[in-house]
Amino acid sequence: MDKPTSFKYQGGELPLPFFFPDATRAVVKTIDSQDLVSTKTPGILVNTYHLFRELGSDVFDKFNGVGNFMNYHGGIISDSGGFQVMSLIKRKEGLGKVTDEGVTFKPEGQKKILLTPEKSIRFQMSLSSDMLVVLDDFTDPKANYKEAKVSVERTIDWAKRSKAEFEKLCQKNKLTKGRKPYLLGVVQGGEFQDLRKECTKRLVEIGFDGLGYGGWPIKNGGGFDYKSAETIAKYTPKNYFLYGLGVGKPDEIVKLVGMGYSIFDCVLPTRDARHKRLYVFNAASIGKINLKDKNFYSFYTPNKQKYVLDKTPVSKACDCLLCKNYSKGYLAHLSRMDEITALRLATIHNLRFYSLLMEKLRENY
């Protein structure tokens, strides 16, 4: 079995590996869909929980999918709402509850929402996503072995229910093998490698197009949990997609691609741009970018007084709108006055950094 080299979507095929920024509420903050195209961003990740709560399926049924709603026609992956199990419930008592049935969200001042594996799949199908992610029970990073085991068992049960609902809807909508979206299972188990192994193998028995590295990837003692990533990769069939869910630091992506991971998403490049943190390759040109160099990139903070007189571009190893047309001096001026144009230009730059990163990784994939 050969590893996949491309990802089919409604507009064609995307070469692997690739990175999708998070368009949580059907928008990448500060930019529009045409900016996504100009940065050579191949696709986006949208969030099931937020879109389900804020818009519901009627909107996407009317527009025939989130891509048409945004007028964006790249690849689209929809997550399941599983991360919100951690961020909105397990970290904040009183805002919801996780049971075998599903997840009940009780946001302050808003109506209660029950999200089940079946509802998550049905809603994602209304988004016309190219890849759906099954609902999973996010293992709390502080969980002991018994608690982690419970999250794995629930994740497996929800995966079975999600797969059954997915197949039912594909049959109902007459989606043949070539027209079906991909379905991704999510591996939980925290830092317990036997649970990671068990969860991976049982998900493979259910049958998916790929598996995602689920849970919190940072170890309790600090540092990225590469051991869990290796365990998942070891027990995943070669013809599966391997997805680093939420993995976004450039050096982490490079290492995971070396393990066989080929799909990534994260809020980092766009969030950092809004916090005046730009990613820059330490190279004199695009052709001289060397990912084997331990320090192949660095960060640039544009709003310092010393840059106001600087006529050079932010990066000579970038061909984005910012670097081709504006100086460090002009960006420093915009940033120091908190002009929204600075946020747009910074976001465009960071997204082009990531698409260049993936282009370089594809050269040897």
Task: Tell me the per-residue pLDDT of 115-162, one tens digit each, with 9 for 90 and over.
Answer: 999 999 999 999 999 999 999 999 988 899 999 999 999 999 999 999
* Statement: residue 87 has pLDDT above 70: no
Domain count, the chain: 2
217-227 average pLDDT score: 89
Q: Are 261 and 233 in contact (CB under 8 A)?
A: yes
Active-site residue (options: 22, 79, 130, 225): 79
Residue 94: pLDDT band (50, 70, 90) is: low
Cβ distance 25 to 50 under 8 Å? yes
Beta strand segments in 160-260, E:
182-187, 210-213, 241-244
Note whether 353 and 288 are same-domain residues: yes
Residue 1 domain flag: no
Per-residue pLDDT tens over the stretch 232-242: 999 999 999 99
Say if residue 109 is in the same domain as residue 244: yes
**Is 58 a domain residue?**
yes
Q: Which of 266, 284, 319 is the last residue of a domain?
A: 266
Domain shared by 231 and 293, yes or no: no
User: Which of these, 244, 240, 251, lies nearest to 266 by C-alpha position?
Assistant: 244
Residue, of 88 and 22, whose pLDDT is higher: 22
Q: Are residues 28 and 166 in the same domain?
A: yes
- Per DSSP bridges, beta strands 96-98 and 103-105 are antiparallel
**326 in the same domain as 209:** no
The CATH number given to whatever domain includes residue 16 is: 3.20.20.105
Catalytic residue among 35, 130, 265, 272: 265
**Quick one: 202 and 78 in the same domain?**
yes
136 is an active site residue: no
Average pLDDT over residues 341-361: 98
If asked whether residues 112 and 175 sit together in one domain, one would say yes
- Distance separating the N- and C-terminal Cα atoms of the chain: 16
Contacts with 239 (C-beta within 8 Å, 6 or more apart), sequence order: 1, 2, 3, 4
Domain ends where: 245, 266, 287?
A: 266
Catalytic: 265? yes
Do 198 and 278 lie in one domain? The reply is no
Q: Is residue 162 part of a domain?
A: yes
pLDDT digits (tens, 9 = 90+) for 8-55: 999 999 999 999 999 999 999 999 999 999 999 999 999 998 999 899
At 291, is the pLDDT very low, low, confident or very high (cuts 50, 70, 90)? very high
Q: Is the pLDDT of residue 259 over 80?
A: yes
pLDDT computed for residue 328 by the predictor: 97
Cβ burial 316-326 (10 Å sphere, 16+ → b, else e): ebbebbbbeeb
18: domain range? 6-266
Comparing CA positions, the residue from 258, 148, 136 lying closest to residue 203 is 136
What percent of the chain shows pLDDT beyond 70? 96
Q: pLDDT: is 176 or 246 the higher one?
A: 246
